[in-house]
Amino acid sequence: MWSRVCDLLVTKPDLNLLDRDGLSVLHRLVMCPDSRFDSLLSRLLKNGADVNLKTSKGDTVLHLATEHQKLQQRLARKSGGLRAMKKYRKKIAESKSKALELLIKFCRKVDDKNREGNTAAILAARIENWHFLKLLLKHDSNVNVLDSHQRSVLHLLALKRPSFLCETIVTECIENGAQVDREDKNGRSPLQLAVDSQNWTLCKLLIKHGANHDIRDRDNSNVLHRLALADSEHVEEVMPLVSLLQSRGANINAAGPSGNTIVHLAARQKNWTFVAMTYTWSQKRWWDDMCSSTWQTGQSARMIQTSDSNPTQLP
Identify the band that residue 244 occupies on the pLDDT scale cut at 50, 70 and 90.
very high
Q: Note the helical H segments in the chain.
A: 2-8, 25-30, 35-46, 61-68, 81-106, 120-127, 130-138, 153-158, 164-175, 190-196, 200-208, 223-228, 235-247, 262-268, 272-280, 284-292, 301-307
Of 71-80, 254-263, 286-295, 301-310, minimum mean pLDDT range: 71-80
Is there a shared CATH topology between the 1-137 domain and the 213-315 domain? yes
Beta carbons of 147 and 117 less than 8 angstroms apart? yes
Reported as a single tens digit per residue, the pLDDT across 137-183 is: 999 999 999 999 999 999 999 999 888 889 999 999 999 999 999 99
Provide φ and ψ at 104, rounded to 5°.
-65, -40
Q: CATH code for 1-137?
A: 1.25.40.20
* pLDDT number for residue 95: 81
Cβ-Cβ contacts under 8 Å for 248 (sequence gap 6 or more): 207, 213
Report the alpha-carbon distance of residue 142 to residue 133 in Å, rounded.
11
62: left (phi over 0), alpha (psi -120 to 50) or beta: alpha
Q: How far apart are the first and last CA of the chain?
A: 76
Q: What is the CA radius of gyration of the chain?
A: 26
* pLDDT number for residue 285: 42
Reported as a single tens digit per residue, the pLDDT across 192-210 is: 999 999 999 999 999 999 9
Q: Is the pLDDT of residue 312 over 70?
A: no
Structure-model confidence comparison of residues 35 and 289, the more confident one: 35
Report the alpha-carbon distance of residue 315 to residue 186 in Å, rounded.
38
Reported as a single tens digit per residue, the pLDDT across 73-87 is: 444 444 456 666 666
* pLDDT number for residue 279: 75
The CA-atom distances, in angstroms, between 307 and each of 213, 277, 301, 310 are: 32, 20, 10, 9
Q: What 8-state DSSP symbol labels residue 118?
A: -
How many Cβ atoms are within 10 Å of 149's Cβ, its own excluded? 11
Domains of the chain by residue range: 1-137, 213-315
Report the alpha-carbon distance of residue 100 to residue 137 in Å, rounded.
13
How many Cβ atoms are within 10 Å of 98's Cβ, its own excluded? 13
Relative orientation angle of helices 235-247 and 200-208, to the nearest 10 degrees: 10
Nearest of 144, 137, 154 to residue 66 by alpha carbon = 137
Structure-model confidence comparison of residues 101 and 309, the more confident one: 101
Report the alpha-carbon distance of residue 150 to residue 158 in Å, rounded.
14
Q: Taking residues 115-129, what's their average pLDDT?
A: 96
C-alpha neighbours within 13 Å on the C-beta side of residue 46: 8
Q: CATH code for 213-315?
A: 1.25.40.20
Which amino acid belongs to residue 73?
Q
Reported as a single tens digit per residue, the pLDDT across 85-105 is: 666 567 667 888 899 999 999
Which amino acid belongs to residue 245?
L
Reported as a single tens digit per residue, the pLDDT across 48-59 is: 999 999 999 999
Reported as a single tens digit per residue, the pLDDT across 272-292 is: 999 988 877 665 445 555 565
Q: Is the pLDDT of residue 30 over 60?
A: yes
pTM attached to this predicted model: 0.82
Q: What is the mean pLDDT of the chain?
A: 85
The CA-atom distances, in angstroms, between 53 and each of 2, 44, 114 are: 20, 13, 12
* pLDDT number for residue 163: 87
